[in-house]
Every structure is written in structure tokens, then in C-alpha cells.
Amino acid sequence: MDVSVQFKKGVLELCVLVLIQRKDQYGYELAQSISKHIEVAEGALYPLLRRLVNDNYCTTYLQESTEGPPRKYYQITPLGNSYLTRLILEWEGFVKDVSNLIEEGTEHE
Amino acid sequence: MNKQQFLFIMQNHLTSITEVERNELLNDYESHFTYGMQNGKTEEQIAHELGDPFELVREILGDRFTIQDPHTSTQTTVSLTRNIFIYIGHFFINIVIVPLLIGLWSGWVGLCAGSIGLLLSPLLLVPEYFINDTFSVAKGFAAVTAMGFGLWMTIAVMFTFKGLATISRSYLNWNINITKGGSIK
């Protein structure tokens, strides 16, 4: 359990960027989109989003909604886009390396 | 846990970030509750989905510390209650150990005095010679023997001094360490 929590934390940034690259989303929507795929403490999203904004990987804009408070939408920046491309490449390489390592281990046994 | 409790914990523990940042995060969480409830969830459900607020605070502040100053993060987590209990426990430990150390050192002083007395015992023959005008060979031998014992005891004194000094020094260091808020080793 604890191990997978650490895994998820590590890739949360990648998942968030992928999701907002597809379309601008607001915090709650984003939380739902992620929870659909992986179980994660949704509260961790907001500090992460703040950091992404601070690092200029995404920007925010407010949009009035017919129901409830105005929604803060997150939009990816060009910088965020290139960062995401790099992240995905790294992620794929990493997953491949780890898989290779595990397979290599079972071959020797 | 309901919305109030969740936000209360966040608000009270996010003190070391700027007010703007804190308000922004609190707003984010509050909106999250609002949207969730619009979607038919209860406050408890939403709070559960958000995760443990203490864990979140730790994460948020953890980010902060590494950004501002990586060296302060180990020092700042000592809480007041922890300190109070440490001082109380510490007080009782000192009540026992300090008198014990004083006792041991007193014993050492006694040992010192004994060995000095034995070493100097031949000198006592000098006043006896002048006052009583006699010199007893038996006493002379006894004094030399006593001096031999005295030399032995000097060795004992040196060893015990080293031992006691080490004990006292490490105890003192431990004390300083505790008072400065370090970990109990």
C-alpha cells in the first residue's frame, strides 16, 4: 500500500499535465479524471497545481459557472508542453528499464 | 471528518506559508467541497477523498522547506508538547543521575585522599624523629609498605578518573543534545 502511494505521488505531475494538455480543466474535474484511473489523495493535487503554475508549466483563468462558485481552470503553457514531452519520454524509458531489470532477475532464477 | 474540520486543520497548520498562498489553497479546497456536494457527495466522503489533512500539510510545508532552506527542515518540526514532556522526563532523570554522579566523584576524591596519605606516610617519620627523638625501624618498613600500596592506589585513581570523566562527559553531551531539541539516542 505504502509503496504504491509513493509511486502514485511520483507520477501525479505527469498525469495532471497529460490531462490538462487534452483540455483545460478545473481542480475538481481534474481530481475526478485522475481518480477514474488511479486512487490518489485528491488533496495533493492543489499544492501540485500551485507548483506547476509557479514553474510556468501552466496558467489559470477563472470562468463563471451557472452553478456554484467560479471555476479556476488550468491551461498548459508551451513551456509545460515541452516539459511534458520530456517527462513522457523519461517515463517510458524508465518503465522499460525497470521491466528489463525485473525480467533479467527472473531469467537468472 | 466534515468540511469545517478539514479546513480548520489546514488553516491552523499552514502557518509558515504566506497568507496569499494559504488563502489560495484554502479556497481551492473549499471550492472542491462545493463542487463535490453539487455532485451529490457528503462532506465526509469528500474529505476522505481529499486525504488526511495532516499528511497534506506535511507535504505542502515539506515542499516549502526544500525550496527555502534545506537545512532548517530537521530543526523546525520539534513541537511544544514534545518539548514539555522531554523536559519533565529529563528533570526526573537528572534527579537520579546527578546525585549518583556526585556520589561517584566523592568516592573518587576519597580514593585520591587515601592514596596521597599512603604515599606521604614516610614523611610522618620525620616529625616523629624530631619530637620523640626515636626512630623505629619497624615503623620505617611499615611506612615503605604503605607507600607501595599508595602507588597501587594511584594507578586505581587514574583509571577511575578516566572512567568517571568519560561517563560525565557523555552524560553532559546527552543533556545538551536533548535541551537543543535533538533526538533521544
Catalogue the long-range contacts made by B38-47 (C-beta closer than 8 Å, 24 or more residues apart). B38/A67, B38/A68, B43/B2, B43/B3, B44/B1, B44/B2, B46/B3, B47/B1, B47/B2, B47/B3, B47/B5, B47/B6
Task: Extract the C-alpha cell encoding B103.
Answer: 556520589
Q: Which residues of A touch B34 (CB under 8 A)?
A: 68-69
Summarize the confidence of residues A21-34 as an average pLDDT: 91
What DSSP character marks residue A57?
Answer: S
Q: Which residues of A touch B51 (CB under 8 A)?
A: 41-44
Does residue B183 register a pLDDT over 70? no
Chain B CB within 8 Å of residue A35 CB: yes
DSSP states of chain B as a string? Answer: --HHHHHHHHHHH--SS-HHHHHHHHHHHHHHHHHHHHTT--HHHHHHHH--HHHHHHHHHHHHHHHH-TTTTTTTT--HHHHHHHHHHHHHHHHHHHHHHHHHHHHHHHHHHHHHHHHHGGGGHHHHHHHH----HHHHHHHHHHHHHHHHHHHHHHHHHHHHHHHHHHHHHHHHHHHTT----
Q: How confident is the model at residue B138 (pLDDT cuts 50, 70, 90)?
A: confident
Q: Which of A46, A48, A49 to mutate to test the interface with B (most CBs of B within 10 A)?
A: A46
Q: Lowest-confidence range among A13-22, A29-38, B80-89, B164-173?
A: B80-89
Contact A31 B32 (CB under 8 A): yes
* Interface list for B 48-77 with A (CB within 8 A): 49-53, 55-56, 59-60, 63
Summarize the confidence of residues A8-12 as an average pLDDT: 81
Give the DSSP H/E element, type plus range, for residue A59.
strand A58-63
Residue A30: what pLDDT? 92
Q: Lowest-confidence range among A53-62, A65-74, B24-33?
A: A65-74
Residue A17: what pLDDT? 94
Q: Which of A1, A5, A13, A28 to mutate to test the interface with B (most CBs of B within 10 A)?
A: A28
Chain A CB within 8 Å of residue B31 CB: yes
Q: How confident is the model at residue B78 (pLDDT cuts 50, 70, 90)?
A: low
Statement: the pTM of the whole predicted model exceeds 0.90: no
Residue A57: what pLDDT? 94
* Per-domain residue ranges of chain A: 3-107
Architecture of domain A3-107: Orthogonal Bundle (1.10)
Task: Write the pLDDT tens digit of every residue in B52-67.
Answer: 888 888 888 875 554 3
Summarize the confidence of residues A83-90 as an average pLDDT: 94
- In angstroms, what separates the C-alpha of A67 from chain B's closest C-alpha? 8
Contact call for residues A72 and A53 (beta carbons, < 8 A): no
* Per-domain residue ranges of chain B: 3-73, 80-179
Task: Write the pLDDT tens digit of every residue in B111-128.
Answer: 999 999 888 888 888 888
